[in-house]
Chain A
Amino acid sequence: MENRMKSKILDEFYCATECLVNPKMEEWMKDGGKVIGYYCSFMPEEIITAAGFMPYRIRAIESKETIDADAYVSQLICTFTRHSLNLALNGKFNFLDGMIWTTNCDHIRRTIDYWNGRVDIPFLHLIQIPKKTGEDQVEKYKMELKKLIKRMEEVYEIKITEKALSEAIQIHNKKRALLRQIYELRKSDNPVLTGADMLAITVAGTSMPVLYYIECLEKLLKEMQVWKKEKIEKVRILLTGSELDNPKFVNIIEEMGTIVVNDSLCLGSRCCWTDIDENTDSLTAIARYQIQKKPSCPRLYDAQERQIGYLIDLAKEYHVEGVISERLRFCDHWAAENVQLEEALEKEKIPFMVMDREYHLGNIGQIQTRVQAFVETIRGGR
């Protein structure tokens, strides 16, 4: 990625996005540290951190095929699910000490049945996520977290104390605050970080020990203060949509005369835009954050205003000229959401494009052609 600033930290983050197990993680495991996997941002990393373990968000970046997964799930299942299941069935996630699912979508939720007995991991658990956002749902979700903690305590013979949870919240809030500072710098009319860089930064954080990651973010912020970039006229884009963990995809978009200045992605800004309350009991605070406070994905009913309002606010704040929604084929959440986004953005007169994609980048030419046409439309309308 030729636009990248020279930075060892940024290089390390990119490296972490290109492999399942990065060197820092290897070091953590070599020292006896446990790693717990999860699929979706509805699983609070804070609980894993409070247990003294490392949270690890599942990606399928090294997967080249889905042959084994295809024996279990049909072609109507998204390629992210199929690739990650394929890796699991081939033992590529056997480094995990446990794995936690959420009922986030119809594709992922049933894969626990395949891991069970076929993947050599000692602890599998599924958390029910409510489908709406009331106080009873906060309570229901909190009960689910309690069950998870109880099981983790039994399986790993540990105690997850209120103090540990409270400290974990503070740590992850600090991480979120640093990420927000980096996002803030991208408001400028000539951001030094590309959208691909930003995604590399956020994704890397899901596979590194959190304290180390925080150190890296602090150093990166210091470095960034002296960075300067030659200004090139680019169309400012906001990226939203399904699970996206590959900076190369963003780079393809940015090679077509755009810069992705912000996003509404679960592996991007949505994971850091709000903090968990530090002044109330930890589980209630986590539950409230997950169900009521953080920018939501379309999985929840009646969170549309929060979801779409968030995106529109970002678009305005970051002087966005167009919104691109990337959707993993067969993703139901985003199929419906994109129709609503189209209407909402039309009212705001913000150009919008939906781009269906597969998990792996097999159709680069097609993506580039579509982005190019979108960019030309925007430029023509300036």
Chain B
Amino acid sequence: MQKQGYDYYQMTLELRKNTKKFLESTSNEEAKLDLPLIEAGIEQAEQILDCIKNNKFFIEAYFCCGVELWTAMDIPWFSVGEVTTWPVELILKDMEEVDELSISRDYCTMVRRWINAVEKKCLPIPNAYIPLLHPCDAVVGLYNHMLQKEEWKDVPFFAPDPPFGESEEDIAYFANELKKLVKFLEKLSGKKLNLNRLREVLENTNKCVKLMWEYNELKRTKPCPVSSFAGESFMYAIQQSPCMIGTKKSVDYCQSLLDFAQKRVEEGVGAVPNEKIRIYWMDWSPTFFEETGLTPWLEKEWNANVVMEYPTTGSFTLIDTTTEESMYRGIAKRALCDAGMIRQARSSSYVLLNELEQVVKDYSIDCVVWPGHMGHREQAAAIGMVRLKCRELGVPLLELESDTFDPRYTTVEQLKEKMSRFFNAMELG
């Protein structure tokens, strides 16, 4: 009998291989660019399978808890959150089980799916884990839940405590938490954090950030050279894809994204040739959008392009690699104040309002879409401020009610209808 999580990762590996095959065969040149990302995903799945099978040290963690540190320590890792990247068919099957949990259905679907994955014992049991305590209340519930589970309760953990604020004092506090995290990982894994290796990882991420800045500059062009939500790929390269972060291949990957955009700009070609509507999407892209044809529909039916979304609005800064302290502080700041969705969700509403103003001005935004993900309470608590800001900026705002992780909540047809009505009413099409 295989150890817990082996089958799950075998399935993950197969899914990623299928995606790779699809990308290799597609005629969509822009989509093809993501091959290195998928290959990194395959590499990670194989790594985790190897760890499970051969009792090698690995951890469960989330990117906004100092991912650069365990990456530099060469510790394999996976995230409970990976279940949310499944294809729609599997998500729907999963949701049938999720709905049977005795947890309120108004609780974030993403976290309910994570809890289900824990309940169904499909996740591998790592040698240690790093509970995620931000940006929302719901994630704390997940990790509190894990503490009670037989399979998890003896697994060592260290949860860096995220402060609410963004002052130097707050960043220093979180940096100190990250130092303790490293000691914890060193003790358990037997691996030492090598500062030169950390510097190398950070410098590669810095190169990716610089490339993202250039890419974002190009996205200001009308028509926008790249497709809706395309910029999210940078987040994976910089922070989220386990076998990609801090590597030369991540830099090459980001460079290829930039080159593609640059070429399109030089040729005067837009991703949406007759671009009429430039959208700022105030969240991540819904996981089912591409697969259910919603993004292509936006582009074809309405000549609309989501030119900017939460993860890559440009607030990433470079990490100063001169000293150990500057590296820790830079990692802390990136985890708290740079990471996409994290920065907008965790602190004051003014963070997302300032960003909204900047994006609307810089990217010639025609309308703002507020997806209204059912689990994002901190967003739900800020919508009034967003309304006022949009009014002040003179940009129309569409408020949707949706579930980024469950296409049943508001169906694709309902979303299309709402968007169509809005575009018509605002005479944007």
For residue B11, CB closer than 8 A to chain A, the reply is no
User: Is there contact, CB below 8 Å, between B377 and A336?
Assistant: no
How many chain B residues touch A (Cβ–Cβ < 8 Å)? Answer: 50
For residue A282, CB closer than 8 A to chain B, the reply is no
Which listed residue (B161, B350, B384) contacts A71, Cβ 8 A?
Answer: B384
Number of chain A interface residues as a range: 35 or more
Contact with B along A176-201 (1 / 0, CB 8 A): 00000000000000000000000000
Which listed residue (A106, A113, A356) contacts B137, Cβ 8 A?
Answer: A106
Which chain B residues border A107 with CB–CB below 8 Å?
377, 380-381
User: Is there contact, CB below 8 Å, between A337 and B378?
Assistant: no
If the complex has contacts A113-B348, A329-B106, A356-B104, are A72 and B385 also in contact, measured as CB distance less than 8 A? yes
If the complex has contacts A106-B381, A111-B381, are A336 and B103 also in contact, measured as CB distance less than 8 A? yes
CB distance from A143 to the nearest CB of B (A): 8
User: Is there contact, CB below 8 Å, between B148 and A304?
Assistant: yes
For residue A227, CB closer than 8 A to chain B, the reply is no
For residue B140, CB closer than 8 A to chain A, the reply is yes
Contact with B along A68-84 (1 / 0, CB 8 A): 00011111110001000
For residue A284, CB closer than 8 A to chain B, the reply is no
Bound CA span A136–B133, Å: 16
Which chain B residues border A333 with CB–CB below 8 Å?
137, 140-141
If the complex has contacts A132-B159, A301-B133, are A74 and B380 also in contact, measured as CB distance less than 8 A? yes
Which listed residue (B148, B161, B399) contacts A132, Cβ 8 A?
Answer: B161
User: Is there contact, CB below 8 Å, between A131 and B378?
Assistant: no
Which chain B residues border A132 with CB–CB below 8 Å?
133, 159, 161
User: Is there contact, CB below 8 Å, between B164 and A332?
Assistant: no
For residue A298, CB closer than 8 A to chain B, the reply is yes
16 pairs, CB–CB < 8 Å, chain A vs chain B: A71-B387, A74-B372, A75-B380, A76-B374, A77-B377, A105-B377, A106-B137, A109-B164, A109-B378, A110-B378, A130-B163, A301-B131, A330-B106, A332-B137, A332-B377, A335-B138
Closest 6 CB pairs of A and B: A336-B141, A72-B384, A106-B377, A110-B381, A76-B380, A335-B107
How many A-B pairs with Cβ below 8 Å?
A: 147
Q: Find the B residue at minimum CB distance from A140.
A: B173
B68-110 residues at the A interface, CB under 8 angstroms: 101-104, 106-108
A104-149 residues at the B interface, CB under 8 angstroms: 105-107, 109-111, 113-114, 126, 128-132, 134, 136-137, 140, 143
Contact with A along B135-173 (1 / 0, CB 8 A): 011101111110110000000000101111100011001
For residue B383, CB closer than 8 A to chain A, the reply is yes
Bound CA span A333–B385, Å: 24
Taking beta carbons and an 8 Å cutoff, which residues of A are in contact with B?
A: 71-77, 81, 103, 105-107, 109-111, 113-114, 126, 128-132, 134, 136-137, 140, 143, 298-299, 301-302, 304, 327, 329-330, 332-333, 335-340, 342-344, 354, 356
Bound CA span A329–B104, Å: 9
Which listed residue (A74, A81, A327) contacts B104, Cβ 8 A?
Answer: A327
User: Is there contact, CB below 8 Å, between B161 and A304?
Assistant: no
User: Is there contact, CB below 8 Å, between B140 and A299?
Assistant: yes
Which listed residue (A81, A111, A140, A340) contacts B144, Cβ 8 A?
Answer: A340
For residue B254, CB closer than 8 A to chain A, the reply is no
Which of A130, A327, A332 counts the most B-chain CB atoms under 10 A from its CB?
A332
CB distance from B254 to the nearest CB of A (A): 33
Bound CA span A77–B104, Å: 15
User: Is there contact, CB below 8 Å, between B148 and A340?
Assistant: yes
CB distance from A74 to the nearest CB of B (A): 4
Q: Find the B residue at minimum CB distance from A333.
A: B137
For residue B176, CB closer than 8 A to chain A, the reply is yes
CB distance from A3 to the nearest CB of B (A): 32
Bound CA span A72–B381, Å: 7
Bound CA span A77–B379, Å: 10
CB distance from A116 to the nearest CB of B (A): 10
Which chain B residues border A106 with CB–CB below 8 Å?
136-137, 377-378, 381
User: Is there contact, CB below 8 Å, between B104 and A335?
Assistant: yes
Q: Find the A residue at minimum CB distance from B138.
A: A332
User: Is there contact, CB below 8 Å, between A336 and B136?
Assistant: no
For residue B134, CB closer than 8 A to chain A, the reply is yes
Q: Find the B residue at minimum CB distance from A356.
A: B104
Which chain A residues border B383 with CB–CB below 8 Å?
72-74
For residue B382, CB closer than 8 A to chain A, the reply is yes
Q: Find the A residue at minimum CB distance from B133.
A: A131
CB distance from A129 to the nearest CB of B (A): 8
Which listed residue (B144, B170, B177, B348) contacts A336, Cβ 8 A?
Answer: B144
Which chain B residues border A342 with CB–CB below 8 Å?
102
User: Is there contact, CB below 8 Å, between A113 and B349?
Assistant: yes
User: Is there contact, CB below 8 Å, between A339 and B381?
Assistant: no
Bound CA span A113–B382, Å: 9
Q: Find the A residue at minimum CB distance from B386.
A: A72
For residue B115, CB closer than 8 A to chain A, the reply is yes
Which chain B residues border A134 with CB–CB below 8 Å?
161
Which chain B residues border A128 with CB–CB below 8 Å?
163-165, 170
User: Is there contact, CB below 8 Å, between A110 and B348?
Assistant: yes
Bound CA span A342–B170, Å: 36
Bound CA span A340–B101, Å: 12
